[in-house]
């Protein structure tokens, strides 16, 4: 298990591994394009070579791209769904060019169509469109959501339905601890963690679990709000994160912090300390 965090790629993708190295990270995540939308910066041969060299020089063999926040595979507008699929596919292609390990994405919201089942169907169709003809090396990951409104993918059952419909073994799950907790999955103790991942295994399969977004939660369990907190300062708490690191499967995943930037160094040090104590 490696400990990382989301870092800035301002000035070019090649700067992301340098920023990760400054924080003492063992892996990292970044945006390859503006997170609120807009054209993707060109990945020139020089940038690609520099990115890979910076990763190698800093022993950063695993890294991840997060797609923009504004995407929606469950939109009521077909052009939005197609544009979303195109952006996710583009990020997969860009990740493969850079040698990035995986790309994770939020799936979108069915709030405008007002039908959760139809939203799941549209997301499944979108995932199939994204992967049609894709032969890159970066793995596609779906991120569990906090479930605000009619956001898709907040339950293991919804994610399993999309995985089954997509029918592509390359698709994995990014498990965001704050999102899952806000969606009602208890992570506050060893017993709770064991129960949650037994349920995950029965519904989805632990083989699909690929990456962790490690975030404590500002909100209580089941409140369906996406509010990240520093490790140990939220409602999951230190006992929960100790249990997560100690879990035989979950503790083998890479952990990417997305906690507030004001004290991410403290969170990095704390996770490393907890790992050492296991």
- To the question of pTM greater than 0.75 for the whole model, the response is yes
Establish if 269 belongs to a structural domain: no
* pLDDT tens string 121-178: 999 999 999 999 999 999 999 999 998 889 999 999 999 999 999 999 999 999 999 9
Q: Which domain holds residue 7?
A: 3-37+44-257
Alpha helices in the chain (DSSP H): 15-22, 45-57, 78-98, 116-131, 156-166, 177-182, 190-203, 237-246, 264-277
* Residues 230, 86: Cα–Cα separation, whole Å: 34
Average pLDDT of the residues in 224-240? 97
Residues 6 or more apart whose Cβ sits within 8 Å of residue 261 = none
* Residues 243, 121: Cα–Cα separation, whole Å: 35
Alpha-carbon distance values, 273 to 36, 101, 266 (Å): 34, 25, 10
- Least confident residue range of 141-150, 197-206, 228-237: 141-150
* pLDDT tens string 8-44: 999 999 999 999 999 999 999 999 999 988 899 999 9
Residue 184 has pLDDT above 90, yes or no: yes
- State residue 37's pLDDT score: 83
Establish if 29 belongs to a structural domain: yes
Q: Two tokens at 25?
A: 């990270």
Establish if 103 belongs to a structural domain: yes
Query: Residue 197 is part of a domain; what is its CATH number?
Result: 3.20.20.150
Q: Two tokens at 148?
A: 């605000």
Establish if 265 belongs to a structural domain: no
Burial (CB count within 10 angstroms: exposed 0-12, middle 13-18, buried 19+), residue 278: exposed
Burial (CB count within 10 angstroms: exposed 0-12, middle 13-18, buried 19+), residue 80: middle
Establish if 220 belongs to a structural domain: yes
Confidence tier at 278 by pLDDT (50, 70, 90): confident
Establish if 277 belongs to a structural domain: no
Establish if 17 belongs to a structural domain: yes
Domain count, the chain: 1
Establish if 196 belongs to a structural domain: yes
Alpha helices in 132-210 (DSSP H): 156-166, 177-182, 190-203
* Residues 171, 107: Cα–Cα separation, whole Å: 13
């Amino acid at each position: 298990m490696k400990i990382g965090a989301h870092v800035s790629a301002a000035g070019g993708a090649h700067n992301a591994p340098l920023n990760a190295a400054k924080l003492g990270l063992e892996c990292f995540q970044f945006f390859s394009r503006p997170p609120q939308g807009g054209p993707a910066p060109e990945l020139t041969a020089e940038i690609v070579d520099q990115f890979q060299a910076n990763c190698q020089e800093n022993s950063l063999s695993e890294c991840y791209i997060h797609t923009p926040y504004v995407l929606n595979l469950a939109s009521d507008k077909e052009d939005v769904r197609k544009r979303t699929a195109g952006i996710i596919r583009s990020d997969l292609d860009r990740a493969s060019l850079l040698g990035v390990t995986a790309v994770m994405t939020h799936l979108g919201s069915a709030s405008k169509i007002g039908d959760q089942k139809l939203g799941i169907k549209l997301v499944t169709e979108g995932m199939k469109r994204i992967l049609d003809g894709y032969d890159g090396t970066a793995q596609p990951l779906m991120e569990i959501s906090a479930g605000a409104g009619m956001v898709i993918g907040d339950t293991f059952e919804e994610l399993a339905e999309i995985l089954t419909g997509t029918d592509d073994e390359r698709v994995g799950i990014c498990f965001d601890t704050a999102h899952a907790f806000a969606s009602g999955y208890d992570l506050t103790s060893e017993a709770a963690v064991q129960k949650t991942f037994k349920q995950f295994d029965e519904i989805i399969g632990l083989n699909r679990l690929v990456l962790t977004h490690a975030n404590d939660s500002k909100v209580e369990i089941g409140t369906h709000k996406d509010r990240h907190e520093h490790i140990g300062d939220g409602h999951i708490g230190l006992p929960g994160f100790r249990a997560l690191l100690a879990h035989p499967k979950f503790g083998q995943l890479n952990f990417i912090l997305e906690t507030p930037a004001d004290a991410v160094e403290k969170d990095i040090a704390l996770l490393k300390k907890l790992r050492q104590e296991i």
